[in-house]
């Protein structure tokens, strides 16, 4: 690390553009900056030193390891005494200007005991989140009992706090229950019992927004959104409401592809062993993220349709082989790998890797990506989700990738 100063604090100083200073950024970029000699005053003394001049820095002066007094200055700072019971807001130089201009004092911290959290598989965080957005269970209960669209439900409650209202009556599915004064619809799907919270009119848009627009919703289609909502919620007319909400979503309309002719599908052999055959493709180059990523390595399992998307700084065979070895250490070594005839996949490094691990390489025909239709269709879905989720400059897509993958895996 070298010593740098920001250009803003240097006035009437001539920069040396011949003798430049090379700097390697954390994400791999290499840049050259002009140099100049300045007087740096420190606790250890004043020194004339040659420094690099950078347009923007987090601080006016950044002392590097090349500075003669670096070790002495490193040991000087002491921790400030902060009053116990207070925590200061998070500060980040990468935040937008509107956030950087915000000033805030210390925030009080409540010290006490935390109630035990349920680790049972049936614990429903989404229903709890909705109750929190509704102002608590009391407000939500009141809305349930006052909603006219739930009048038929209130007149047909068959179970109250675990007790059947009419013991001689056969309990069929679906039916309505009341638990802790909250109304539920109970449905049976195969061997599983699904308990759906009945949502009043005032909170239905909140549920639709969380299931479709939220980053973990990923702006997926009607069927996926419907599956996500019906796992936990229900109300009369829920299917029509989901259809209207998804088809009228502005972001989905802007990024929806134009309808085209679909070729008939060619059946592939059915695989029942996970990760016996995988399909692989490279998406990019994309807009370089703030962390230097430009490509996405996409891997899909043909048996389970489980997707994996790995951000890469470059699309070389060496980078791909490294990420594949990390993935194989988790899921096992496949028997077959299907790829297109791109340069990284046809390279000597990839051939040696497959030979070493005993993997059979399958290649698609040139200019015929339909052979690997599974991964090509996933690429289309992933890029569509990224367009809807990223910021204006598009440099945060690699941070959003894990959340988008969660939304895809949750409703396979």
* Residue 284 burial by Cβ neighbours in a 10 Å radius (0-12, 13-18, 19+): middle
Question: Dihedral sign, CA of 286, 290, 292, 297?
Answer: negative
Same domain? For 59 and 168 the reply is no
Same domain? For 349 and 238 the reply is no
Domain count, the chain: 3
CA atoms of 153 and 145, how far apart (whole Å)? 10
Domain final position from 254, 288, 303: 254
Res. 262 pLDDT band, cuts 50 70 90: low
Same domain? For 64 and 145 the reply is no
- Residue-wise pLDDT for 334-370, tens only, equals 888 888 888 888 889 989 988 988 988 888 776 665 5
CA atoms of 92 and 405, how far apart (whole Å)? 26
The answer to the question of residue 137 being in a domain is: yes
The answer to the question of residue 333 being in a domain is: yes
**Closest CA relative to residue 321, chosen from 297, 351, 359, 350:** 350
Res. 1 pLDDT band, cuts 50 70 90: low
CA atoms of 226 and 143, how far apart (whole Å)? 23
The answer to the question of residue 336 being in a domain is: yes
Same domain? For 356 and 401 the reply is yes
Same domain? For 158 and 250 the reply is yes
The answer to the question of residue 395 being in a domain is: yes
Same domain? For 179 and 58 the reply is no
Residues spanned by the domain of 63: 4-75
**b/e burial code for range 309-346 (CB count within 10 A of at least 16 → b):** bbbbbebebebbbeebeebbeeeeebeebbbbebebbe
Same domain? For 285 and 222 the reply is no
pTM recorded for the entire structure:
0.45
pLDDT value at position 28? 63
Write the DSSP assignment of 69-93 as a string of letters: THHHHHH---PPP--TTEEPPP--T
Tokens encoding 317: 């065979």
Q: Does position 73 have pLDDT exceeding 60, yes or no?
A: yes
The answer to the question of residue 330 being in a domain is: yes
Same domain? For 355 and 305 the reply is yes
CA atoms of 330 and 326, how far apart (whole Å)? 7
**Closest CA relative to residue 273, chosen from 301, 299, 300:** 301
The answer to the question of residue 272 being in a domain is: no
Same domain? For 135 and 246 the reply is yes
Residue pair 353/324 in contact (Cβ under 8 Å)? The answer is yes
CA atoms of 12 and 351, how far apart (whole Å)? 59
145-161 mean pLDDT: 83
Same domain? For 239 and 302 the reply is no
In this structure, the chain runs to a length of 412
The answer to the question of residue 270 being in a domain is: no
Cβ-based neighbours of 49, under 8 Å, separated by 6 or more: 3, 37, 38, 40, 67, 68
Residue pair 264/321 in contact (Cβ under 8 Å)? The answer is no
- Residue-wise pLDDT for 290-316, tens only, equals 888 999 999 998 888 889 999 998 888
The answer to the question of residue 108 being in a domain is: no
């Amino acid at each position: 690390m070298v010593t740098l100063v920001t250009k803003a604090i240097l006035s009437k100083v001539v920069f040396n553009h011949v003798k430049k200073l090379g700097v390697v950024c954390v994400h791999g970029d290499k840049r050259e900056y002009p140099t100049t000699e300045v007087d740096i005053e420190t606790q250890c003394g004043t020194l004339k030193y040659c420094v690099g001049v950078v347009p923007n820095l987090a601080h006016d002066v950044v002392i590097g390891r090349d500075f003669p007094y670096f070790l002495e200055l490193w040991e000087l700072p002491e921790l400030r005494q902060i009053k116990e019971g207070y925590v200061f807001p998070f500060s980040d130089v990468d935040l937008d200007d509107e956030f950087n201009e915000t000033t805030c004092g210390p925030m009080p911290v409540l010290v006490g005991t935390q109630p035990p959290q349920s680790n049972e598989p049936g614990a429903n965080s989404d229903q709890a989140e909705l109750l929190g957005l509704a102002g608590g269970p009391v407000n939500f209960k009141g809305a349930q009992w006052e909603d006219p669209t739930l009048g038929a439900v209130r007149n047909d409650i068959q179970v109250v706090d675990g007790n059947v209202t009419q013991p001689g009556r056969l309990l069929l599915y679906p039916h309505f229950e009341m638990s802790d004064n909250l109304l539920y619809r109970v449905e049976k799907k195969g061997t599983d019992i699904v308990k759906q919270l009945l949502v009043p009119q005032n909170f239905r848009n909140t549920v639709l927004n969380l299931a479709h627009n939220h980053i973990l919703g990923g702006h997926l289609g009607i069927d996926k959104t419907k599956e996500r909502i019906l796992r936990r919620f229900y109300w009369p007319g829920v299917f029509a409401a989901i259809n209207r909400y998804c088809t009228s979503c502005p972001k989905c309309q802007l990024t929806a592809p134009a309808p085209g002719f679909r070729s008939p599908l060619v059946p592939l052999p059915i695989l029942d062993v996970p990760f016996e055959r995988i399909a692989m493709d490279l998406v990019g180059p994309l807009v370089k993220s703030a962390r230097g990523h430009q490509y996405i390595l996409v891997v899909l399992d043909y048996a389970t349709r489980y997707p994996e998307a790995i951000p890469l700084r470059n699309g070389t065979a060496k980078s791909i082989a490294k990420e594949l070895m990390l993935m194989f250490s988790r899921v096992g070594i496949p028997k077959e790998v299907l790829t297109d005839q791109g340069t990284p996949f046809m390279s000597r490094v990839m051939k040696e890797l497959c030979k070493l691990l005993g993997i059979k390489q399958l290649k698609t025909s040139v200019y015929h990506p339909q052979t690997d239709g599974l991964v090509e269709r996933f690429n289309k879905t992933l890029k569509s989700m990224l367009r809807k989720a990223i910021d204006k400059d598009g440099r945060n897509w690699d941070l959003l990738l894990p959340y988008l993958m969660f939304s895809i895996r949750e409703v396979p």
